[in-house]
Amino acid sequence: MRNRAAIINACFLFIILFLFKGCGIYSFTGASIDPKIKTIAIRYFPNRAEIIVPTLSQQFTDALIEKFRSQTKLRLVNGSADVVFEGEITGYYTQSGAIQANDRPARNRLTITIRVRYTNNIKPEESFEQSFNRYEEYGSTENITSAQIVSIIDQLTEDIFNKAFVNW
């Protein structure tokens, strides 16, 4: 009899969560997107950093688009939209860290900085302009890998998504 009650409670909870998700009240990503927002435009982020990595602009722009495609129901458009993301890559640099006894760095740090202008045409008071930066460390005898760049981009897109749509 206890198992039956547990199954009924679990089914009831599942139905409630399903209804909340469908109504836009709750999102499993934690996103809180106004139901009036239907469209999104993500402009190309040009690389204006001192060091230019030829593929970085396209990689970042594509990753930001994919983040919103996979975690929202917003329709991506090229023209005017309910919300718009635009900006540029303003920093890509490495710096030495932890110095060893022989005055050589043990670790290096790659940092990428993105300047974002978010325009919310439905609720203009939620618009913002902000820089986001993230870094990855790597051994001083190693080269920067594409996996490290992808990791930084993933962190940056998460930060931007959270700033725009997750009210923590």
Instruction: For residue 52, report the phi and psi dihedrals to the nearest 5 degrees.
Output: -100, 120
54 vs 150: CA distance, rounded Å: 14
H-type helices in the chain, by residue range? Answer: 2-23, 56-71, 146-165
Kindly state the percentage of the chain with pLDDT values over 90.
62
Q: Is 88 in the same domain as 16? A: no
The pTM for the full model equals 0.78
The pair of structure tokens assigned to 21 is 């998700």
Two tokens, residue 83? 């919300």
Of residues 167 and 85, which shows the higher confidence score?
A: 85
CATH code where residue 78 lies: 3.30.160.150
Full residue range of the structural domain in which residue 126 is found: 34-165
Domain match, 42 and 20 both: no
Same domain, 17 and 63: no
pLDDT in tens, 44-80: 999 999 999 999 999 999 999 999 999 999 999 999 9
Do 52 and 78 belong to one domain? yes
Q: Measured in Å, how far apart are the chain's first and last C-alpha atoms?
A: 41
Measured CA to CA, the distance from residue 144 to residue 138 in angstroms comes to: 7
User: 7-21, 114-128, 138-152: which has the highest mean pLDDT?
Assistant: 114-128
The first and second tokens of residue 155, run together, are 């962190």
Rounded to an integer, the average pLDDT of 95-112 is 76
- Please report the pLDDT score of residue 26 as a whole number: 39
Give me the numbers of helices (H) and strands (E) for the chain, helices first please.
3, 5
For the chain, what is the domain count?
A: 2
Q: Do 18 and 47 belong to one domain? A: no
